[in-house]
Chain A
Amino acid sequence: MAPAAPAAATHTMNKLLLHPAAKPLLFALALLPFAQLLWGAVANTLGANPAEALIRGTGDWVLRFLCITLAVTPLREAFGLTGLARLRRMLGNFAFFYGVLHFLCYAWLDMGLDLTGIVADIPKRPFILVGTLALLLMAPLAATSFNRAIQALGAARWKRLHQAVYAIGLLGLLHFFWMRAGKNDFGEWTIYAVVMAVLLGWRVRQALRRRAASRPPGARATS
């Protein structure tokens, strides 16, 4: 495949990505939406219904961080940006961070921390059930996101576990779809769906190629 970017640009990009300041900078950037929502809540600039703004705002950022995290590998391979790989863990953990905030906002602002009410509400409403499922699936990935966990699990098993992120992405998408379905308002949803389709489609294509390449030469003629 022809390189998508000139070698010199790739080299500079990777140098920037490997710079010691890259991780702290990304960390600060990833906290910006949180800071913005928190400031909005304190200063009362979130509009007439701040609770709704917080619930929706944190939910948007879960989907955004999931998309960004899922974009790391395709971008790395397509553009040779090897320096991206070391940022993936933090991005994934931020998806979980915003997921926890999203759930806390729902549990606190919408349900008044009424535990029995929340437990009754989750199975009653498919869209909340799907969202909760996605969050529960994210928890073991966040819990095994450090190096020792990879060693303990073994790289192959760790990788298989972390492939749950594809299911999480799709569940998140379904959650958002159902939330908007009542109002037939799918404009924003379509954007996330297209991004997710491209990122997961790229993986499907890679897997098919790998399978084709690993087949013995004779097998190709018969299939």
Chain B
Amino acid sequence: MADQSGSILETPMHFRPDRGFDHAVPSEITPRAVYEGRRDWLRRLSAGALGTGLAGWAGRDALAQASAKGAPLPGGKSAVVGANVMDAVTPRGLSTTYNNFYEFGTDKADPARNAHTLKTRPWTVVVEGAVAKPRTYGIDDLLKLAPMEERIYRLRCVEGWSMVVPWVGWSLAALIKQVEPTGNAKFVEFHTLADPKTMPFVGSRVLEWPYVEGLRMDEAMHPLTMLVFGMYGEVLPNQNGAPLRLAVPWKYGFKSGKSIVKIRFTEQQPKTAWVKAAAQEYGFYSNVNPKVDHPRWSQATERRLGEDGIFAKKRPTLMFNGYESQVGQLYAGLDLAKNY
């Protein structure tokens, strides 16, 4: 055996010091004014050089951005380490029109078009399983359960694109503590709504419905794991998972279920929707990991929507989506290539 010498003051091999964040090179961050100015420039160009008829076309998505503002839902400052990345926030017009929410269609423009049918009130969330105090919460109870915080998280999709979203909500741990999990609670299962009357694609054979996701207990208790009720200081739009969804910033986006109706504490590892659909492509953990490729594409890089131009080189993906200092210790000793 090799001698593992070193004083206790040295950082252990696997743990990196908590430096807060891993950042992209600051010079790569496009200032918001420049980004927005680009559209103005295009609009002016099309109005001037190509005639006023085309201006409407160029301004089309600007119009979409201005529409459908939600009711205000402000959040206070968060004290959770890692809760506010310094990356530029993705424009609301993009993060509310480019969504994977298969209950409303498989095209990423479908949810924004179809999710208006979703009824977010009345809404209840059943909390059951291995807990001392199972309970059914109404959405208004949940909105008051803990103080709302605004947290700016990176969101990395397994498909190779990413966004930066200012979520509004609180740490899931607050709810978990209230229901008092028993010793048998090793995992948490999240069931999302599957209502064929309001969700046109429930019944398609793409996935097994309802969509089920899950976390290990320690992952669910991590302060960064967030129950989300709003974004951009407003109530969640339907297509983003109203009235409540999960945000687990160090995992691929599909781990964060939308429109949650049931939270269940179990002893067995949950059988999650994508693992059931394609186990060779999607694992239970699904931690963002640039070193473990998806079978059909590399996960080493990503495209930041709204910020990286079409011809820009994709940016490197960070281990645990840049949250390694906060969550790396959860996986000490775990083979991340096997447990993808």
Q: Which residues of A contact B (CB under 8 A)?
A: 41-45, 47-52, 54, 108-110, 112, 121, 124-125, 127-128, 178-179, 181-185, 187
Contact = CB atoms under 8 A, between A and B. Distances in A.
Report whether over half of chain B's contact residues are helix, strand or loop; otherwise say mixed.
loop
Contact of B311 (A109, A125, A127, A185): A109
Contacts of B301: 112
Closest 3 CB pairs of A and B: A48-B98, A112-B313, A48-B94
B245 interface: no
B296 A178 contact: yes
Nearest to A113: B313
12 contacts: A43-B46, A45-B58, A48-B94, A54-B310, A108-B311, A110-B314, A112-B301, A182-B296, A183-B206, A184-B205, A184-B207, A185-B106
Interface residues of B, number: 36
Interface string B310-332: 11011000000000000000000
Contact of A48 (B106, B293, B305): B305
B95, B205, B311 — most chain A CB neighbours (10 Å): B311
B123 interface: no
Contact of A44 (B39, B298, B314): B39
Contacts, number: 72
Given A47-B108, A184-B277, A187-B106, 14 more contacts: A43-B46, A43-B57, A44-B39, A45-B57, A45-B58, A45-B61, A48-B94, A49-B303, A51-B310, A108-B311, A109-B311, A124-B293, A182-B281, A184-B278
Nearest to B90: A48
B293 to A, nearest CB: 8
B108 A179 contact: no
A4 to B, nearest CB: 36
Interface of B: 38-39, 42, 46, 57-58, 60-61, 94-95, 97-98, 106, 108-109, 161, 205-207, 277-278, 281, 293-298, 301, 303, 305-306, 310-311, 313-314
B97 A47 contact: yes
A41 B109 contact: no
Contacts of B161: 49, 52
A78 to B, nearest CB: 34
